[in-house]
Amino acid sequence: MNKLGEIIKDTIVSLPDFASSEQLSESFESYDRERLFSLLPKNESLFYLESGPCGRTILLLGEKWSIDIYAFKVEIKTEEKIESFDREGMTQVEILNSIEVWLQNQDDCLLGTSLMYEAGWDGEKRKASINRRLPDITIVCPQEVVIQDGDATVSYRDKSIKSLLKKNNHSYTENFSKDCMIKNTLSEENYLKCISRIKDKIRSGHSFQVNFSQAFEMVGEIDLLSWAKSLFENEAGHFSCLVIRNDYSILSISPERLVAKKSNTLITRPIAGTFAKSESMHDIEKALNEFRNHPKELAEHNMLIDLERNDLGKVSEAGSVYVHEYLCIEELPHLYHLVSEVRSKIQEGKGIGDVIQAMFPGGTITGCPKLETMFILNELEQSDRKAYTGSVGYIGKNESDLNILIRTALIEGNKVTMRFGGGIVWDSKPEKEYKESLVKARGLILSLIKGGAFCDFDHRSLRQFFS
Amino acid sequence: MILIIDHYDSFSHNLYQLFASQFDKVCVRRCDDIGLAEIKALNPKAIVLSPGPGTPRETGVTMSLLRSAEFEQKPIIGVCLGFQAMMECAGAKVDLAPEVVHGKTVSLKRPSHTIFSEQNEEMELARYHSLVVYENTLPKSVNALLVYNKMVMAAELKSMPRLGFQFHPESFLTCGGPLLVKKTMAYLRSKISV
């Protein structure tokens, strides 16, 4: 770290305390998302986070301070002032580790965290894409932390504010996306061409798997809170989230965890293998078992477990990495997933910055080997991924949890961008892969159509698929 | 210290974990981030060449390391691409494999060589490759230890402490990886003193 780096570190470490003066048990009788939503303030920065099956729901409200890490600068904003520093002084890892130092005296604080895909190039000599407008990483110290865990709800408040949670005057609507227009940006024909290019790369030994994606775009004024409420009621994944900030918002029904740190234990939960539900399927148990033992699905899944073992292995004690759960089936509204869990013990001296650097972007949404595959993706996908396959979650003193932003919408002004894709391997059937990317799109696109959005697809078959 | 040369692979740290759980100090360095002079100065007690994307020509410092007379008595273990580089440098040919296998296992009968002595009779080995070294391209200086359908799965250089695997001992799919690595290290060290 150079002299400028020391200054940035000092600035971060001496940011104002969260200083919780109240710990209140609220009167939410039980886990009730609808009730929580009815209390959300309007026009307030917030992180709404689900963390795992039977996990907690966390709501981080307001901004006491924020750190936005851009490709070339870092911006630190408090209630008093905004400071901007040149990034040359510090790596992403150093900034995140400094934030962890600040956290040491903040027992009740959880920091809202979001990462764009492009943050994954940090520290690499060669980079393929750069975020020009959006910050690579955002860290927000909230003014209020609400944790709902089963029947209990606890709320911590910064002493300088009154509760931000209040009876909301937002009138929720079912027509949240009326006058909006959705279109696809890649034709089926071109999707299939890209798959054939990917197979050339696999044949020549440059990749084993490439997680290719296509973009859908929507233009129009959307009622974000209403859309979020409707999505979470009908489609929620175990790691759903809603982030609202000044310059962008993220809405996700992610089913996947990137990494969690619980005291010294690191946990990652890769999803690899997607199986669409269909009404013609009679013996679901038998079909799922076949899926689990299918040579292609199995090989893909095994490869990703080795990749996750590798990434955890960078920051873990020697010999501590192990496969905790293997080939579980998880059910979602439109599909089933094959899921495993890998765990390890963090190496002494490694911070949350090192952990994120080691794991991000997730192997299940890039491919393997990761870096080479990221270059292939950049060449074939026509626009930057931004929020797609980025991450949202929280960082705390004793516990952090971050998801992978798939089944995700990035909202910038009146433009909504969503990407959907899947892992292409040597024995992939191109038409089936194209279809799989659409199956994953169903949750978000169908809900937008239900909310009143019009479709401007380039092919009739797409319209049929989403009808 | 054991030096792992990383060819930008996503399994290099599985190798790191495999070696670090058995040996004192293990260090991982990117193949284009270290030169021969520094490797010499570090004086590692063994060098491990990682897997990686592409062909032996895309391995940074590795080919010059393998060609340099200075490291002829240094134990070197190659895995997948690292193994292919070692073989190409010895005069063998790296070619397209008849099939692409990524994340699949093969079950092979244990060969008689000492490094396999503590493996199961039927060895379950993880494979990730689309390129391969065929047995009939091996020069006289190379001794094939394990061959599957004419593809070399393990081989050593006769006159140097160098040995490599086409399969992945660091994968969770390979049974007996730690023992194989331990035996290989001991075997290569015994070759230096001869």
Q: What are phi and psi of B117, to 5 degrees?
A: -60, -25
From residue A195, give the alpha-carbon distance in Å to each of A118, A213, A428.
23, 10, 9
* CATH number assigned to the domain covering B2-193: 3.40.50.880
Give the H or E element holding residue A417.
strand A415-424
What is the reported pLDDT for A135?
96
**pLDDT of residue A178 exceeding 80:** yes
List all residues 6 or more positions away from A95 whose beta carbon is below 8 Å from its beta carbon: A8, A12, A67, A69, A74, A137, A353
Facing residue for B13 by CB, picked from A205, A298, A313: A313
Does residue A29 register a pLDDT over 60?
no
Q: Which residues contact residue B154 at a Cβ distance below 8 angstroms, ignoring those fewer than 6 apart?
A: B111, B144, B145, B146, B163, B164, B165, B166, B167
Orientation of helix B12-20 relative to helix A295-313, angle to 10°: 60
Q: Which residue has the tokens 């990730």?
A: B128
- The pTM of the full predicted model, rounded to 2 decimals, is 0.95
Q: In B133-169, which positions are buried (b, 16+ CB within 10 angstroms) versus exposed (e)? A: bbbebbeeebebbbbbeebbbbbbbeebbbbbbbbbb
Question: Across residues B70-93, what is the average pLDDT?
Answer: 98
> What average pLDDT does range A419-442 have in this prediction?
94
Residue of B nearest to A367 (CA): B10
- Report which secondary-structure segment, H or E, holds A75: strand A73-78
Measured distance CA(A445)–CA(A116) in Å, rounded: 22
* CA nearest to A60, candidates A242, A237, A235: A242
Beta carbons of A137 and A119 less than 8 angstroms apart: yes
Mean local confidence (pLDDT), B99-109: 96
pLDDT tier for residue A31 given thresholds of 50, 70 and 90: low
pLDDT category, A346, cuts 50, 70, 90?
Answer: very high
Q: Among B184, B118, B112, B53, which residue's Cα sits nearest to residue A206? A: B53
- Chain centre to alpha carbon of residue B163: 6
Alpha-carbon distance A375 to nearest alpha carbon in chain B (angstroms): 12
User: What is residue A25's predicted lDDT score, i.e. its pLDDT?
Assistant: 67
Segment 37-76 of chain B within 8 Å of chain A by CB: 52-55
Band (A157; pLDDT cuts 50, 70, 90): confident
Neighbours of B80 (CB within 10 A): 25
Mean pLDDT for the stretch of residues A230-242: 90
Which pLDDT score is estimated for A141? 97
pLDDT value at residue A416: 98
Mean pLDDT estimate for chain B:
97
Dihedrals φ, ψ of A340, to 5°?
A: -130, 170
User: A271 is written with which tokens?
Assistant: 């999803």
pLDDT tens for A245-261 read: 999 999 999 999 999 99
A150 pLDDT higher than 80: no
The answer, for B130 touching chain A at a CB cutoff of 8 Å, is yes
Length reported for chain B? 194
* A313 and B CB contact within 8 Å: yes
To the nearest whole number, what is the mean pLDDT of chain A? 92
Residue A22 banded pLDDT, cuts 50, 70, 90? confident
> Who has greater pLDDT, A429 or A288?
A429
Q: Give the model confidence (pLDDT) of A37-54 as tens digits.
A: 888 887 889 999 998 777
Phi first, then psi: what are they for A322, rounded to 5°? -145, 155
What 3-state class would DSSP assign to B79? strand
Q: Which residue has the tokens 């284009």?
A: B32
Neighbour tally for A361: CB within 10 Å: 26
- Residues above pLDDT 90, as percent of chain B: 98
Interface membership of A203 toward B (CB under 8 Å) = yes
**If contacts are CB pairs under 8 Å, which of residues 320-349 in chain A contact chain B?**
321, 323
Q: Is the pLDDT of residue A115 over 80?
A: yes
pLDDT for the residue numbered A28: 56
| Mean pLDDT for the stretch of residues B141-168 | 98
Q: Where are the domains of chain B?
A: 2-193
- What is the pLDDT at residue A90? 87
Q: What is the rounded average pLDDT of the residues A180-208?
A: 96
- Give the pLDDT of residue A26: 65
CA distance B194 to chain A (A): 32
The two three-digit tokens of residue B73, written as one number: 């008595």
Q: What is the pLDDT of residues A358-404, one digit of tens each?
A: 999 999 999 999 999 999 999 999 889 999 999 999 999 999 999 99
Summarize the confidence of residues A209-222 as an average pLDDT.
Answer: 97
Averaged pLDDT for residues A210-223: 97
Catalytic, B27? Answer: no
Distances (CA, A) of B135 to A99, A205, A320, B151: 55, 20, 37, 6
**Confidence tier at A276 by pLDDT (50, 70, 90):** confident
CB-CB neighbours of A111 under 10 Å: 28
In the predicted structure, residue A465 carries a pLDDT above the cut 70 = yes
How far is it, in rounded angstroms, from Cα A443 to Cα A462?
A: 15
CA-CA distance, B191 to B161, in Å (whole number)? 6
pLDDT of residue A30: 53
Q: How far apart are the first and last CA of chain A?
A: 55
The active-site residue out of B7, B31, B89, B170 is B170
Q: Is the ipTM of this complex over 0.90?
A: yes
- What value does the mean pLDDT take over residues A337-343? 95
Q: Is B170 a residue of the active site?
A: yes
Cα dist. A217→A213, A379, A387, A408 in Å? 13, 20, 13, 12
Domains in chain A (CATH in brackets) are 3-158 (3.60.120.10), 181-219+258-385+397-402+413-465 (3.60.120.10)
